[in-house]
Amino acid sequence: MKRALFVLAVAILWPAVSLAQYNGVPANGMMSKGDLPAGVQPADLQKVAFEQRLNAQIPLDAVFKDESGRDVALGDYFRHGKPVLLTLVYYDCPMLCTLVLNGLAGAMKGMSLEPGKDYELVTVSFNPRETPALAAEKKATYIKRYGHAEAAGAWHFLTGNDESIKRLTEAVGFHYVYDQATGQYAHATGIMIATPDGHLSKYLYGIEYAPREIRMALVDGSGGKIGTPVDRVLLYCYHYDPKTGKYGLVVMNVIRLAGLVTVVVLGSFVAVMASRERRRNRKERAGPQPKAC
C-alpha cells in the first residue's frame, strides 16, 4: 500500500517539462521566411506546412527501399503489434533534418522503452533522388550515436520514388518546397507516432524532444500495450494538445487523483486505528492473565 501511494504521489508532483523547440515553425506547422533556403520566395510559405491529421491511415502498401536496397512496404513495419515512430527527412539536408535525428537519438537515450521490444522506428527520405547507400550511411551514423547496436534491427532508413513519397507525405500532412537554385528543401520539422495498425496518433514538433513526451506518446499510441502503471497515471494527468503537439497538465484530473489519494490515505489511517482499538478492547475484556506457578 505504501509503495502504491508513493507512486501516485510522484506522478502528481512530477512537473510538466517540454524541451520542444520550434525554430520558426509555430504550432500550426507553418514556416517563417528566415527558415527558407535562399531561392524560395515568400509566396512559397503557404505551401510549407506540417498539418496534423490525427487518426489518418498511413498508406501501408506504399513501396520503398530499405538501406540494403530491398523493396519493402510500409506495412512490413506494422506487423509486430507495436507503435511506430515515423520521421520524414532527407539525408543530405544541411541543417534541420540532421538536428531532428540528433534530437531523436538523444531523446531515445533518455527513455527506458527499447526499440524493437517496445516500438519500431521508420525514417523516410522525401528526396526521391537519394539512394539506399546514402540511407545506410545515415543509419550507421545514428545507430552509433544512439549507442545500442541491437537497435539496428528496429530503426529503418528508407528511400523511395516520387509516387510513394507523395502518397506518404500527403497522408501525414507534410508539405514542403524544393528550391532548384540551391538543391535544398524548405520544410517543417517534427516526428510522428503511429498506432500498430498504421493510424497517426501523435505529432511532436521541433528538433528537440523530451524523452518523457515521446514515451507518453508511444504508450498512448500503443493502446496501453507497453509501458508501466505509472505511465497510465501520467496519461491520466496529462493531455495531448494537437495545436501545440505537446502534452499539458490536466488540472481537474490531477485534483481528482489527489482526492482519490487523500481518500485512500485517510481510509488506511482509519482502518489501522480501528484495528488497534479492537485489539486493545479484546485485551481489556480478557483481563489480566494468571501467572504460571
**Structure-derived torsion over alpha carbons of residues 17, 23, 29, 30, reported in degrees to the nearest 10:** 150
Please report the pLDDT score of residue 157 as a whole number: 98
- The residues that bridge with 194 in the sheet, in sequence order, are 84, 200
Taking the C-alpha atoms of residue 230 and residue 4, their distance in angstroms, rounded to an integer, is: 10
CATH superfamily of 18-227+239-247: Glutaredoxin (3.40.30.10)
Residue 282 has pLDDT above 60, yes or no: yes
What are 151's three cell numbers?
537497435
Residue 234 has pLDDT above 80, yes or no: no
181: confidence class by pLDDT, cuts 50, 70, 90: confident
Percentage of residues of the chain with pLDDT beyond 90? 53
117: confidence class by pLDDT, cuts 50, 70, 90: very high
Closest CA to 168 of 212, 136, 123, 205: 123
pLDDT tens digits, 49-62: 899 999 999 999 99
Residue 203 has pLDDT above 70, yes or no: yes
Q: What is the mean pLDDT of residues 222-229?
A: 69
Q: Please state the domain extents for the chain.
A: 18-227+239-247
Tell me the pTM.
0.70
- Average confidence score pLDDT of the chain: 78
- Write down the H helix ranges in the chain: 2-13, 96-109, 132-146, 162-172, 211-221, 229-237, 251-286
Helix (H) or strand (E) holding 124: strand 120-125
Please report the pLDDT score of residue 230 as a whole number: 55
Taking the C-alpha atoms of residue 241 and residue 162, their distance in angstroms, rounded to an integer, is: 32
> What's the CA angle centered on 268, arms 284 and 229, to 5 degrees?
150
CA distances for 187 relative to 17, 31, 45, angstroms: 26, 7, 9
Q: Is 142 helix (H, G, I), strand (E, B) or coil?
A: helix
